[in-house]
Amino acid sequence: MKNGTHQYDSGSELDERRENRLSVNTSPNMAKITVEGRFTIVPNELINDKSVSFKAKGLYAYIHSKPNGWEFSSERIAQESSDGRDSVRN
């Protein structure tokens, strides 16, 4: 966290093949996890952050589960959930 800004990077990129694959590349200063498959990884830092609501955590997981190129809008997310558009926006 820098200056009150939360930045979370799942480090995952999904491709259209949807093969289940997990690889971890490490260097002295950084680890990069590449995930391909029908699952989503959510950083523990986000899950355990008390300043982030459960609703926001769920939206993070939902958004990161979508393939590259997926068009995001509050209306589309609301259509695919039991929440209304206003709930998705707040």
Q: Where are the chain's structural domains?
A: 40-89
CA 45 – CA 60 distance, rounded (Å): 13
pLDDT digits over 9-49, tens only?
444 444 344 455 666 666 667 666 666 667 888 899 999 99
Average pLDDT rounded to a whole number, residues 52-61? 92
Note the pLDDT of residue 11: 47
Helices and strands in the chain: count of H runs, count of E runs: 4, 2
pLDDT at 18: 46
Band of pLDDT at residue 53, cut at 50, 70 and 90 = very high
